[in-house]
Structure 1
């Protein structure tokens, strides 16, 4: 009830902070209580004493001052100001009584010791310094006035003077004890509040998903919240000092240290992203050689508020770290998607540019020569010229058909609808047949085509149509990019369970920057305006996909202006994926049936 009444008297600025509220309450309560008790005792004192003297009237009137000080604090909330005025009021009362009752030898002079003690409750150095200076000034003033005989002679007898001195000492001691209990109460309140705040921040630090840390400007960690153990898989003691720095990726350490140093020196918030090594959980699936990986962390750091005792060399930084690995993965996925989209757009543009020429050239030839045949009477074409034009129209149509077939085959392969029909066949015959078909073209271009196919090549299981298409594309591509006087060599051999086809030429070669892109649809080495050879760029892409459909491998070795060697490895026995899956299931079925319900399944890896 009394506390509620006191809380109602507090200034609004002190109602929402527990410690401030306790200090204001400790200031108001004893002053109101002491003044009210003194005023209530004044009538009793008059009845026992009789008519009061002027000094007694002044002393009792002065007891209104604590009430006025309490009202001042209640209205303004100026805690230091109220304590300063209280020191002045107490010192004034003591000086008034002391000057009338013996000066420095007065019982009231003892109370000057209480002035700085009372000011100590304000927890303000300025108030304590002012009160101490005020009490010393009063002592000096009383001594000076006494030595100069400027004080009135005391009218108290020796016995009464002894009683007053004892009363002064006892009352001052009791008041000092009350101040001590008040200081202890405030200290206990401060400690309890400190524990409450500490528990609150500890709870906050333990349950936050972000890691809070405190650093020196050189990166050494002084404190780090326990959630770091979950994020990094390492106990907190191992992260203190330079333990966290040792986990920063080597490439990111300069940025990490720069952010901390800038925050400590510049006084502004800094943000940086870096990688941290995370330990694998115990009992995890990772091997000992791969017991850690890296996560992406975003760190925001800012300097701690500096006090007057903190020098620039002691500046510290508080940081908040957050795991942003998922966001980084999404950003990388977006970058890959953007790159893929840009490549698709470039492929589309390259496809349109290439196809516009590859389709327009034969179509123009077909239309032009067919119109000339239609106007053979006006142009007076003989039979030989008509035959020549018809052959040119046929060649242009065949070229146009090959371009369209290449586009359709590539589209089927990319959509996964291109079907492989495996069957047994002898590879030597179709290899020689394809080379013979292209021998005339090689001879016309002044190129020597050499074929090396051993007669003992074994039969293989695969798609003979796709096999021929692989040979035709590789050999025709080699002939197209070989200058007159060069040579193209086609060879076949058996390596274990694979047939090795090797097509070598002494042509223009491929630059190192373009070598890794060979086999991409519509790609031709060299820039468009630099290429001297026509084509859609689909030949090697079709070969690469056909070889992949046969579970084979294609490798390309080339040097610019020296030539190119393309090696294709095809399995002698090709098994479609669905048959391979059925075979594996059939193999595992007896083992599965033999396993008892309570017996764990054991699968042995083959060599």
Structure 2
């Protein structure tokens, strides 16, 4: 149309080089120049807009586009009338109501809706917001569509929903944690207070006095463990714990740990075993001894808590430049759906207080320490047959 206009413009108004009436129409020429300048300004404005703008007829045939449409949807500006709106629509997009929307727009009812676009000769898809309004093109009814890419907005909305769900879940977990903490703290406290009071009886037999004192000691240890776990996870969340590496003998550490937990174990039917090779070698590594120890302690305590029959075994293997420590048990096992949950803070598979005790922090602490050491904890488990926790950590051999 622009080429046609340039061709016939002067002849129509009698201003061409061969016109005999050139001096009769100066006002008309001035107005046409002004209109052309306005049109050029309008086109410049349209091309400077970051949104894609398409003018199409009531059947979807594209009549005109701005520069942004050409860049995003791979449509040549000079050949835009070869395409329709459907050519830049994803095949996954439902278009059944599109013509009804266009009819409304022609009837002077603008619409705003979401759409999935697909550039010409491209496999990528773009989530867009479309605003359509009525217009005229060459004195014929047409539609101007403004296409705004809101992929980032959709991504942000999705992240916002996930953050909201995560916050709600965290709030629920903390509520359950406080509920369990009340129970777990009260249980040893009641034991300490009750049996301490009974120890004050003057005529108490010596054997009972020793028995009650032992109960007070055990409950004090349980209470101290609970407090230690709460303080530990608080420091980890606040990132107040740093890694301090040193050279130490891994075999000595595991042998000492095996001896301590064998003495601590209250179930003679569940022996704690140690891999035989560990007793006969001197394997020195460079790592954070304290954190590695705490991870293994938590894994052992977890195995002892949930194993009533069979055995518990600890040991390690070497895989390339990775040290793989493990704690194996023949306990109750863990369902596959719960294998991620058990490593979350304040989380327990059984959320009700039980005789097994615990706040659901032990494995969470182990998990956080493993990350600090640039390692990870994985699990193999079968319900009713037991579990094996693997603590994989990079190391330097010395």
Tell me how far 1:363 sits from its aligned partner.
0.8
Are residues 1:385 and 2:208 paired? yes
2:237 aligns with 414
Q: Name the structure 2 match of 1:368.
A: 194
* Counterpart check, 1:478 vs 2:309: no
Alignment partner of 1:263 is 2:104: no
Gap change, CA 1:559 and 1:187, over 3 Å in 2: farther
Higher strand share: 2
Decide whether the 8 Å contact of 2:309 with 2:331 is kept in 1: no
Q: What's the CA shift for 1:390? A: 0.9
Question: Does the C-alpha gap of structure 1 residues 487 and 221 become closer, same or farther in structure 2, counting only changes over 3 Å?
Answer: farther
Task: Compute the displacement of 1:404 (Å).
Answer: 0.9
**Quick one: distance in 2 between partners of 1:537 and 1:465?**
21
Determine which of 388, 393, 396 is the counterpart of 1:570: 393
> Following superposition of structure 1 onto structure 2, how do residues 545-556 of structure 1 map, counting pairs within 5 Å?
545-556=368-379
1:331 aligns with 2:169: no
Contact 2:53 2:65 survives alignment (8 Å): yes
User: Could you say what secondary structure the match of 2:112 adopts?
Assistant: strand
State the shift of 1:424 in Å: 1.3
Distance apart, 1:302 and its partner CA: 4.3
Task: Provide the rounded CA distance (Å) in 2 between the counterparts of 1:192 and 1:211.
Answer: 28
Assess if the C-alpha contact under 8 Å between 1:435 and 1:475 holds in 2.
no
CA separation in 2, counterparts of 1:238 and 1:351? 65
Q: What SS class does the counterpart of residue 343 from structure 2 fall into?
A: coil
The residue that corresponds to 2:49 in the other structure is 208
CA distance in 1, matches of 2:32, 2:75: 33
* 1:466 lines up with 2:291 in the alignment: yes
Matched residue SS, 1:518: helix
- The answer to whether residue 123 in structure 2 is matched with residue 297 in structure 1 is no
Distance 1:540 1:224 in 2: 59
Which residue in the other structure is 2:269 paired with?
446
The alpha carbon displacement at 1:523 in A equals 1.2
- Is 1:272 matched with 2:97? no
Cα distance change on mapping 1:259 and 1:201 into 2, 3 Å: farther
DSSP-derived class of the 2:374 partner: coil
Q: Can you give the 5+ residue segments of structure 2 that lack an aligned partner in the other structure?
A: 1-24
Residue 357 of structure 1: how far off its partner (Å): 1.2
Counterparts of 1:544 and 1:414 in 2: how far apart (Å)? 12
Question: Structure 1: 5+ residue runs without aligned partners?
Answer: 1-183, 280-290, 311-315, 576-607
Task: Give the distance between the partners of 2:89 and 2:356, measured in 1 at CA.
Answer: 52
CA contact (8 A) 1:498 1:571 kept: yes
The 5 A counterparts of 1:71-90 are none
Deviation at 1:324, TM superposition (A): 3.1
How far 1:389 moved relative to its partner? 0.9
CA distance in 1 between partners of 2:336 and 2:84 (Å): 44
Alignment RMSD: 3.8
Report if aligned partners of 2:110, 2:132 keep a CA contact under 8 Å in 1. Answer: yes
Structure 1 residues 323 and 406, CA gap change in structure 2 (3 angstroms): same
Q: Secondary structure at the match of 1:528?
A: coil
Distance 1:231-1:241 versus aligned 2 partners, 3 A rule: same
Q: CA deviation at 1:550?
A: 1.7
Contact 1:474 1:503 in 2 (8 A): yes
| Deviations, residues 361-381 of structure 1 (Å, cap 9, x unaligned) | 11111111112222x13xx42
CA contact (8 A) 2:192 2:216 kept: yes
Which whole-Å deviations, capped at 9, do the CAs of 1:40-84 have from their partners, x for residues lacking one? xxxxxxxxxxxxxxxxxxxxxxxxxxxxxxxxxxxxxxxxxxxxx
Structure index of larger Rg: 1
Match of 1:352, SS state, is helix
Matched, 1:358 2:184: yes
Displacement of 1:395 after TM fit? 0.5
Structure 1 residues 265 and 510: alpha-carbon distance in aligned structure 2, compared to 1, 3 A threshold: farther
Whole-Å separation in 2 of the counterparts to 1:440 and 1:399: 16
Question: Is 2:145 aligned against 1:319?
Answer: yes
- SS of residue in 1 equivalent to 2:342: coil
TM-score normalised to structure 2 length? 0.77
C-alpha change, 1:445 and 1:538, in structure 2 (3 Å) is farther
CA gap of 1:402–1:432, structure 2 versus 1, over 3 A, is same
Change (3 A) 1:450 1:239: farther
Give the counterpart of 1:544 among 367, 371, 377: 367
1:13-412 correspondence runs (5 A): 195=36, 198-215=39-56, 221-231=62-72, 235-236=76-77, 251=92, 253-254=93-94, 257-258=95-96, 260-267=98-105, 268-274=109-115, 276=117, 296-302=127-133, 317-374=143-200, 376-377=201-202, 380-412=203-235
The number of residue pairs the alignment matches comes to 368
State the 1:391 CA deviation.
0.8
Residue in structure 2 matched with residue 513 of structure 1 by the alignment = 337
- 1:166 maps to what in 2? none
Instruction: Give the deviation of 1:488 after TM superposition.
Output: 2.7
Q: Relative to structure 1, is the Cα distance of residues 555 and 196 closer, same or farther in structure 2, using a 3 angstrom cutoff? A: same
Structure 2 Cα separation of the partners of residues 274 and 449 of structure 1:
62
